[in-house]
Amino acid sequence: MTDHVPPPLIGITSHSPLAPDRAALAALLAQIVRGVERAGGAPVTIPPGVAPETLRAIAAHLDGLLISGGGDIDPARYGAEWHPSIGGVDPDRDRLEIELVHRFVSDGAPLFGICRGAQVLNVALGGTLYRTVEEHPGAQRHAFYPGLPYDLRPHPVQIAEDSRLAGILGAPLVAVNSLHHQAVRDLAPGVRAVAYAPDGMVEALEVIGHPFALAVQWHPEALPDAPEMRRLFEAFVAACRKRTLQ
């Protein structure tokens, strides 16, 4: 008889209860939790206001980290000025998530980012953002589509065939939903863009040489019936499980 191996403990960052779009974020967070559970992980949500020493104590027990979607990062974090389209900035959340990215990247621990999570990963490691996607030359529409479901897939993304992401999704071209008004601009050192929208906007990132540090700009949790999106959660949880056995 083999010993029972508990499911990997996965921290999921969350939004403030005062966030302006908290109802939408809560719905997406619930789908992330279900996605992690369905893949065999044990999710633990992390609120943005925890003290630094509490955060370090929590992080020490985690087998993986998932950075969820949410409001915009303070542009001062990447050397930019304020823009009228910026909203939902939460300094406590910025601090918490950037600290966690540094820890999980330096430790080689599994990290998965969704939407804002891709932007946080890039900013934490020294990259910049388009404060609004309209700053990108020739940008198509990427923001919310009012009145339409979150599982609408308005455009495809081209995946780098030699990437971890392509191996997980099983295809070089995948249709995705699009719920963001900001995006990655200058890549951070050691970070590779592994997917692009038709207008050239970065849609996914991987940290070069890391066992599993991957982030996507779309919301796979809002596409729970799509096999390729379920595989994203499964691959992440598998990497976390592998870490528990080390």
Catalytic residue numbers, as ranges: 115, 219, 221
| C-alpha radius of gyration, the chain, whole number | 17
Phi, psi angles (nearest 5°) of residue 29: -60, -40
Backbone angles phi, psi at 44, to 5 degrees: -135, 120
User: Is residue 91 within 8 Å of residue 98, measured between CB atoms?
Assistant: no
Residue type, 105: V
Give, for 9, the enclosing helix (H) or strand (E): strand 9-13
Closest CA to 221 of 209, 233, 213: 233
Q: Is 126 left (phi over 0), alpha (psi -120 to 50) or beta?
A: left
